[in-house]
Amino acid sequence: MIEIEQHNDVAVVRWRDGENRFNRASVDRWHAVLDELEATDGPLAVVLTGEGKFFSNGLDLDSFADDPESAGPVIADVQRLFGRMLLFPAYTVAALNGHTFAAGAMLACCVDARVMRSDRGYWCLPEVDLGLPLTPPMFAAVTARLSTATAAEAMNTGHRYSADEALHAGIVDAIATESEVLGIAMERAARIAPKDRKVIAAHKRMMFSDVATICGYEPLS
């Protein structure tokens, strides 16, 4: 279940599917949510968050094992989601309420700012331990904002970053306790929501249009 909760000019997108894994149903819902938000007129900023101990645990590999033919199309749509988030025409913040792994960590790289829960949860790219190299679109999404040194360490070691380590590495912009992480993310979003969305969108296109194209996303305008 992925729901939009409106708080004045801030839309909180809350993912409530347990480990919040990407499968056919969840990625379709993500794109529908972005369709709805993109059609919103006026001031807007968006906060992404999960529930409980997971922000997102990445791809739903169990569903792919049950239906191998679904893997390719679902992964392609997840990668397209990364491109959409990079170019989303409003300011975006992730409130990382818990474990942020694999494709969930990649999604977090595609928003404008990240606030991570300080007392529980890790940010991690575990593909090196799973024997699953990042695809070129995944690599492009991860390196769109992370420094080369941080991306190399994260991808090639599979290190599980605590909140303090993630802040030091530049993976997140702020850390907060469980009770504060969403509120701080919403405060950050609310400060930017009144600013000109057309200008924000133009700047994002200048910065990230090449990455979005690699991810398979070409905006209509």
Of 98, 75, 107, 218, residue with least CA distance to 160: 98
What was the pLDDT predicted at 221? 60
What was the pLDDT predicted at 162? 97
Tokens of 26: 């969840």
Structural domain includes residue 164 = yes
What was the pLDDT predicted at 68? 82
Q: Name residue 56's beta-bridge partners.
A: 100
What was the pLDDT predicted at 219? 81
Q: Mind listing the pLDDT tens digit of every residue in the chain (221 residues)?
A: 999 999 999 999 999 999 999 999 999 999 999 999 999 999 999 999 999 999 999 998 888 887 788 889 999 999 999 999 999 999 999 999 999 999 999 999 999 999 999 998 999 999 999 999 999 999 999 999 999 999 999 999 999 999 999 999 999 999 999 999 999 999 999 999 999 999 999 999 999 999 999 999 988 66
Are 97 and 182 spatial neighbours (Cβ–Cβ below 8 Å)?
Answer: yes
Catalytic residue selected from 127, 165, 180, 187? 127
Phi/psi-derived region of residue 158, left when phi > 0, alpha when psi is between -120 and 50, beta in every other case: left
CA separation for the pair 167, 161 (Å, rounded): 9
Structural domain includes residue 219 = no
For 145, the enclosing helix (H) or strand (E) is: none
Residue 15 exposed, middle or buried by CB count within 10 Å (0-12, 13-18, 19+): buried
Structural domain includes residue 29 = yes
- Planar angle of CA 191, 207, 36, nearest 5 degrees: 55
Instruction: Express each pLDDT in 185-208 by its tens digit.
Output: 999 999 999 999 999 999 999 999
Structural domain includes residue 170 = yes
SS3 state of residue 118: coil
Structural domain includes residue 220 = no
What was the pLDDT predicted at 70? 81
Q: At 173, which CATH number?
A: 3.90.226.10
Are 113 and 65 spatial neighbours (Cβ–Cβ below 8 Å)?
Answer: no
Q: Is 127 a catalytic residue?
A: yes
**Domain tally, the chain:** 1
What was the pLDDT predicted at 7? 96
The model's pTM is 0.95
Structural domain includes residue 221 = no
What was the pLDDT predicted at 193? 98
Q: What is the CA radius of gyration of the chain?
A: 16
What was the pLDDT predicted at 29? 97
Instruction: Give the DSSP letter string of 1-52.
Output: -EEEEEETTEEEEEE-STT-EE-HHHHHHHHHHHHHHHT--SS-EEEEE-BT
Look up the domain containing 56 and give its range: 2-214
Structural domain includes residue 209 = yes
